[in-house]
Amino acid sequence: MNEKPAIIVTGASSGIGAYCARALKLDGWRVFATVRREQDRDGLEAEGIETFLMDYTDHASIHALVDEVLARTGGRIDALYNNGAYGQPGAVEDLSTDVLRLQFETNVFGWHELTRRVIPVMRARGTGRIVNCSSILGLVPFRWRGAYNASKFALEGLTITMMMELRGSGIEVSLIEPGPIRSEFMANCLKAVEAHIDLENTVHKVEYARQLKRLRGELSGAKGKLGPEAVYEVLRHALTARKPKPHYIVTKPAKRGVLLKRLLPSRLFYRIMGSLG
Ligand SMILES: NC(=O)c1ccc[n+]([C@@H]2O[C@H](COP(=O)([O-])OP(=O)(O)OC[C@H]3O[C@@H](n4cnc5c(N)ncnc54)[C@H](OP(=O)(O)O)[C@@H]3O)[C@@H](O)[C@H]2O)c1
């Protein structure tokens, strides 16, 4: 009988998810990792990670994932790491409602659907860990990222509420709030802005030119950027500590943002934030 604890890790094709799936496997977990493309499975499978095709916007794929994991483990899911997401750049006035909805379908509604499927399994066993990868942008807003800010703020609200509601169930819930981390995130933001924002017919045309340069890596990089191992360090704590923290803020810029929000009057804080990014 396989007694390794079982964890679902979403968005494991690149970046933080890919790193954490591998690190968890090395740390003795039985890892069920999700990707969206067939070709992204091979490398993970070769390392003994069980992979599934799952897209948060396709709820049938979420249910198929959970059914199959339960079949393979005999009804056990010890932990869920919701990680797969993307950033939709664009000024709030340039976002169509459909594009905003798409951002929420992936970053909020899909996570909610998967989490709701997993909670009864954990409740039945009286134990479990749920870790949601939010962002510093779920605590502190940046310009030109309204859809993403809103999705992560929404995730914060849902997750903290759930954390309080699950008290006494044996299920512990944590949020990870990273600042800049090396991954494919910026490249995927670039695809989303090019696909969904009219970059010509907008009062923000000049600003978008700058934002495109930033996303292409043509401006000086974000200060304080860390590798995905920085996220793994706190994920491991959230999964194994007797008393996991509600919030794990990762990187110095993220910690600075939270501190400034606490200390400064909001008008001054938003004026400073509005000059960044
Ligand atoms: N990198 C940062 O600076 C940073 C900072 C704060 C928070 N975060 C958060 O960290 C998490 C991981 O991002 P990352 O930096 O590792 O970026 P990444 O390299 O772009 O990885 C994102 C992962 O999410 C997957 N994904 C995207 N849309 C999905 C969907 N609809 N259903 C299922 N999976 C989907 C991607 O799959 P495909 O390859 O198929 O697109 C990919 O595997 C995200 O929650 C992000 O918001 C990142």
* DSSP state letters, 130-187: EEEE--GGGTS--TTBHHHHHHHHHHHHHHHHHHHHTTTTTEEEEEEEE-SBSSSHHH
**Ligand 1 center to residue 147 CA distance, Å?**
15
CB within 8 Å of 171: residues ≥ 6 apart: 119, 122, 123, 127, 128, 129, 130
Alpha-carbon dihedral angle through residues 60, 65, 67, 68, given to the nearest 10 degrees: 140
Residue 204 has what pLDDT? 97
**Ligand 1 center to residue 79 CA distance, Å?**
19
Within its chain, how far is the Cα of 200 from the centroid? Answer: 30
Residue 122 has what pLDDT? 98
The verdict on the CB of residue 16 being under 6 Å from ligand 1 is yes
Half-sphere exposure of 118 (CA within 13 A, CB side): 31
Q: Which residues pair with 178 in a beta bridge?
A: 250
Q: Which burial class, exposed, middle or buried, applies to 67 when counting CB atoms under 10 A from its CB (0-12, 13-18, 19+)?
A: exposed
Under a CB-based contact definition with an 8 Å cutoff, are residues 73 and 6 in contact?
yes
Among 51, 155, 183, 196, the mutation site with the greatest number of ligand 1 atoms within 8 A of its Cβ is: 183
- 34 φ/ψ sector (left φ>0, alpha ψ -120 to 50, else beta): beta
Nearest ligand 1 atom to the CA of 222 is 3
| Nearest-angstrom CA–CA distance, 137 and 156 | 10
The verdict on the CB of residue 83 being under 6 Å from ligand 1 is yes
The verdict on the CB of residue 20 being under 6 Å from ligand 1 is no
**Ligand 1 center to residue 10 CA distance, Å?**
9
The verdict on the CB of residue 181 being under 6 Å from ligand 1 is yes
Largest CA distance in the chain: 62
Q: How far is CA 236 from CA 24, 117, 118, 173, in A?
A: 8, 23, 19, 13
Residue 192 has what pLDDT? 98
Q: Which residues pair with 35 in a beta bridge?
A: 53
**Ligand 1 center to residue 199 CA distance, Å?**
24
Active site residue 19: no
CB within 8 Å of 266: residues ≥ 6 apart: none
The tens place of each residue's pLDDT in the chain, 277 residues long, gives 558 999 999 999 999 999 999 999 999 999 999 999 999 999 999 999 999 999 999 999 999 999 999 999 999 999 999 999 999 999 999 999 999 999 999 999 999 999 999 999 999 999 999 999 999 999 999 999 999 999 999 999 999 999 999 999 999 999 999 999 999 999 999 999 999 999 999 999 999 999 999 999 998 877 899 999 999 999 999 999 999 999 999 999 999 999 999 999 999 999 999 998 8
Residue 221 has what pLDDT? 74
In this structure, is the dihedral angle defined by the CA atoms of residues 73, 243, 237 and 137, taken in order, positive or negative?
positive
pTM: 0.98
